[in-house]
Amino acid sequence: MVFELEGTDGAARAGWVVTARGRFATPCFMPVGSRGAVRLLSAEDLDGLGAEVVLANTYHLMLRPGAKVVASLGGLHGFTGWPGHFLTDSGGYQVMSLPCSVDDEGVKFRSAYDGSWQRLSPEGAVEAQEALGSDIAMVLDVCLSLPAPRQAVVEAGERTLAWAERSLAARNRPDQLLFGIVQGGTEVDLREEYARRLGAMGFDGYGIGGLSVGEAPAETLAALSAALGPLPAGRPRYLMGVGDPFTLVRAIGLGVDMFDCVLPTRLGRHGTALTSGGKLAVKASRFATDGGPVDPACTCLVCRRYSRGYLRHLFNVGEPSAGRLLSLHNLAWLIRLVRRAREAVLAGSLDELAAEVAETWASPASYGARHGARPEPLGWCKLMSGSQAKGPS
């Protein structure tokens, strides 16, 4: 048993993903700790946030300090001191964002650290993740920027399926779940076909990749819906790299269980808060004497203790704690939103939550309608993280 269903609301699901380590509740949002740490935060912070799963990146960790070094220090859990669940991305997205060459055997790329040539194969990605000791590993896939010609989408999708079969054959750790990845761009028929073929391979779970990389939001949701239909109902479904509130809640309504994104921490480090009224630019001069919390509707530690005026001051004087505090708030806010979605699924009221979120987050024009935030385009997660290969979240 990999997925235990607790309740549904239409296609939306609330349940539990079961691993050798234990289990975690879904829907869930996973903070991104590319190099084994969420930027500016500690393991104790993750405990305080109630995070159940953290995403670590194979690309970064296989290069620095090396998968064998991490293994020698007790795997990711011993290495980081965090006992919760880890999911490791294969590093395919990071590799594809660099100058590289792809063939049937894998991908050749230059390290963003020292410029050395590196080779990553489907088997090598599995081997590295088994050494890292994550609870959930992802297969190596081919992720294209969109829009892309249909023939390129077909080639990437077929190669991803071939690599998926090789990844299954290469696995050696029965205590580590292995997820396949559905590609297919915005081609609805290809998404459906590749999901059907991948689902027949018998993975422990399924990622939907290659979305939120330049296509329109409506295309994202159409492609996602097509990919979800053929996937086995008894396995978790993970929408990779998407974390804007509107799309996240809509995706839960379609049946997605897991999410990750660099958005909350990246925005936080640069002075932007996620709030019930939209994005809030904390560094704005109008908040210089504002004694109110970042979000009056939020009960996180930051909102209970610190004012907008104080946080603005910290950013303006270059105090590192500014980005840390706003990152904590943003993660707490987004994790709470996903928990509210879980509660809504169990109560049969997800449509009401979706309507509430859409009022503020459905379009750039409506961002910041409340609490003094200015309209400002949010952007899609992977567009914001185009330099992710060169720097962590």
Tokens 């479904």 sit on residue: 237
H-helix segments, the chain: 43-49, 58-63, 67-72, 75-80, 92-96, 122-132, 150-170, 188-199, 217-228, 245-254, 263-269, 301-305, 308-316, 321-347, 350-361, 381-384
Report d(CA 211, CA 221) in Å as an integer: 9
Per DSSP, the residues of 231-285 read S-TTS-EEETT---HHHHHHHHHHT--EEE-SHHHHHHHTTEEEETTEEEETTSG
φ, ψ at 45 (rounded to 5°) = -60, -45
The full length of the chain comes to: 393
DSSP label at residue 374: P
Report d(CA 259, CA 370) in Å as an integer: 26
Report d(CA 111, CA 185) in Å as an integer: 27
Report d(CA 13, CA 5) in Å as an integer: 7
Tell me the pairing of strands 177-182 and 136-138: parallel
Listed residue (263, 274, 318, 271) closest to 300, CA to CA: 274
With the C-alpha atoms ordered 46, 385, 16, 73, is the resulting torsion angle positive or negative?
A: negative
β partners of residue 137 = 88, 178
Report CA Rg, the chain.
Answer: 20
Tokens 């990999």 sit on residue: 2
Active site residues: 89, 260
Listed residue (264, 380, 299) closest to 272, CA to CA: 264
Report d(CA 179, CA 378) in Å as an integer: 29
